[in-house]
Structure 1
Amino acid sequence: MAPTADESTVEIEVVALPAAGVPVAVPDNLDAILTVGMQRVPATIRCAPAARGEVAPANPATRQCQLRLPNAVTASEASGETTAISLSLDEGVASPHYLVPSRAKRLAVAAPAVAPAGEETAIAVASEAKQAKTGIVLAPSEMPSAKGERGNAFLENLSAYKPIYAAYGPGTNSEGRIQISFKYQLFGDPGDVGLGAPLANGLHFAYTQRMFWDLGADSSPFRNIDFMPEIFYLQPAVEVGDGLSLGGQLGLRHESNGRDGEASRSANTVYIQPVASVEAGDYTVSFGPRLFFYVGDLSDNPDIRHYRGSTGLFAEIGKDDGLRLTTTSRMNFSSGKAAINGELSYPMDNIIETGLNLYLFGQAFTGYGENLLDYNRKVTRLRFGVSIVR
């Protein structure tokens, strides 16, 4: 492929691969899709007449063609931006299958300049040119699902929230415990939150799901699942002194186990949690009180405040690439009911160089309300497993 005198047009060679021994031909026009940044733009590959348009069975057919770049690329000339482009054939294109020979998967078009003479620029539809010589039948286009970030302009606003893990502790009445969690920044550029950023950028949606898997029972059912969506305002930690940082969040959380009848549990809370962090050599120590207030209907569990209270404490010490200990607790000072959850994690690759992206994970819980179903029941659990977020 090479540039033409017209900076908005490039020349490409299209190859038609035969299938089942049937002669093939490259048509005059091919519908295609150009992905420009995060946008998908329809395009047409136009081919010049060629004697080699149709060939004998088992041999590929080739034609020299041209592709006009969309305005999304040429409009960047004034700014001198570099736009990343990928090309695929439209999903409606039928067999035989086509490809554009190339050495690269992307074309970087720097406007207004084009590639220097003699330097090969490339757009890839499916494969290297050598595949055309082998007669390999290729897919007519790259499926949109092949790369999840395509067409998802806000994917970078999604990030980890609470720990994600799977842990189990064999023993009497023990259950596997699995948790998934994420948060989503609703406004602004990803990570542009805090001082100097627009106020709305701190608004987040989060979702946490905690599952209790009764592996010892017949059919191994999930005995209880807690669903915890929330919306909160985040103020990231800001350094206020030598090694001291302050941050926090204010939010509204709904908790439900999705059951009905006597097993139904639900609660809504408004909470505030400031957090202070101190650097101590290679370690970071963080701690913060948590105050939460019940709002709305508590008819499913009218005495939940008696067991869970309205106060809690978060504490953590650890290294970014080493051991980390995290504890969260709840307490009701008037009733004397309380609970504490501790989690210890360590990168698995620090023990054995496997390249496995997991943390060894240990978890201990004692007190009331490990889950909503058992909010008024005291249990002690010890579990071990793996985590991907801690």
Structure 2
Amino acid sequence: MPKKYATLIFILTIFQFSISCFAQNNEEKDWIFKNSKTLSEMWELKEEYHRGTFIITSYEPVYFTVGKFSTNTNKFPSSEERNNFLSEPVELDVVEAKFQLSLKTKVFYKALWGKADVWAAFSQRAYWQLYNKELSRPFRETNYQPEIILNFPLNFKVLGFTGRMAGAAFVHESNGRSDPLSRSWNRFSVHAGFDRGPLQIMLKNWIRLGGSNDDNPQIMDYIGRAEAKVTYDWGRQRFYAIARHSLRFGDKSRGSIQLNYSFPIVKNFSAHIQIFDGYGESLIDYNHRQTTFGVGVSLIN
């Protein structure tokens, strides 16, 4: 059996053992069904949830994927129109580790005539060839994403949902590398958030800023121009899907979908399963299509 598949089977065995231990612990289950935070709580949209400025809280989920398998590893990343490609392919493992860190803080409270809050956020995703001993276990790719977010609290009904928030953001994303592997872009994004009980929907649409001369000029035709994130909480179990699309037809109709499921193992320690299909699993892979399957642990949902 090839080493890469043996590694994946080992990871899945450990994960299955964790699930079995979780299933055998039937004595106290109250902590499994404690309610997750609503949009109003997460973004402090009501006066009762306001915690003050410059207090660091979570933004996107924080997780560590112990093993992530790819059906089509990008061993020869390239960028159109600028000859940004390696001189020869890199022998990458099909199984690697991945982690995401994401934090936010409220910078201004009741700005713009008392109608909006201003947040600063930072997310980092790292793709780690943890099992690639031949290449000394390098970090294949690290993506950095700082944001400035303007949020307006709302309260209106539409199609059975309650509109909770709307706003705009400036987003920069880059991998901090030099040519030929440099990838970066800036975008202006608008968003709106809705909920209906444990179901939450976040819609985003963006335009690119300053994209006429860069290292990934057609990134929106691959990663997309819009995003829909749908989250359903059952106590502390969370199902969420993130779909992106280019909003184009024909051969430019591209995008991605990411499916996630997390459930508690012990108190605040949760298992995390993630499936991805499409373009842009990482920034270096923005124009590369693949399907990935990962298992790991989630610390903050």
The TM-score with structure 1 as length reference comes to 0.53
- Residue identity (%): 27
The alpha carbon displacement at 1:360 in A equals 1.3
Gaps of 5+ in 2: 1-51, 70-92
Amino acid aligned to 1:376: N
CA 1:243–1:315 in 2, change beyond 3 Å: closer, same or farther?
Answer: closer
Counterpart position of 2:221: 306
Question: Among residues 282, 286, 290, which one is paired with 1:371 in the alignment?
Answer: 282
Counterpart position of 2:105: 184
1:348 is paired with a residue of what secondary structure?
A: strand
Distance 2:140 2:153 in 1: 36
User: 1:1-390 to 2 correspondence within 5 Å?
Assistant: 157-169=55-67, 171=69, 173-188=94-109, 198-199=114-115, 202-218=117-133, 219-236=136-153, 238=155, 240=157, 244-279=162-197, 284-297=198-211, 298-319=213-234, 321-332=235-246, 333-334=248-249, 335-349=252-266, 356-390=267-301
2:274 is paired with a residue of what secondary structure?
A: strand
CA 1:209–1:237 in 2, change beyond 3 Å: closer, same or farther?
Answer: farther
Amino acid aligned to 2:64: A
The alpha carbon displacement at 1:230 in A equals 0.7
Distance 2:268 2:65 in 1: 16
CA 1:361–1:197 in 2, change beyond 3 Å: closer, same or farther?
Answer: farther
Greater shift after overlay, 235-244 or 269-278? 235-244
Q: Deviations over 1:313-339 (max 9, x none)?
A: 1111113x3321111111123212110
1:370 is paired with a residue of what secondary structure?
A: coil
Larger Rg: 1
Q: Is the 8 A contact 1:245 1:278 kept in 2?
A: no
2:222 is paired with a residue of what secondary structure?
A: helix
Distance 2:154 2:67 in 1: 35
CA 1:187–1:300 in 2, change beyond 3 Å: closer, same or farther?
Answer: same
Gaps of 5+ in 1: 1-153, 350-355
CA 1:156–1:252 in 2, change beyond 3 Å: closer, same or farther?
Answer: closer
Q: Deviations over 1:117-148 (max 9, x none)?
A: xxxxxxxxxxxxxxxxxxxxxxxxxxxxxxxx
Q: Is the 8 A contact 1:174 1:381 kept in 2?
A: no
The alpha carbon displacement at 1:199 in A equals 3.5
The alpha carbon displacement at 1:169 in A equals 2.8
The TM-score with structure 2 as length reference comes to 0.67
The alpha carbon displacement at 1:236 in A equals 4.2
Amino acid aligned to 1:198: G
Amino acid aligned to 1:292: W
The alpha carbon displacement at 1:243 in A equals 6.9
Q: Is the 8 A contact 1:207 1:230 kept in 2?
A: yes
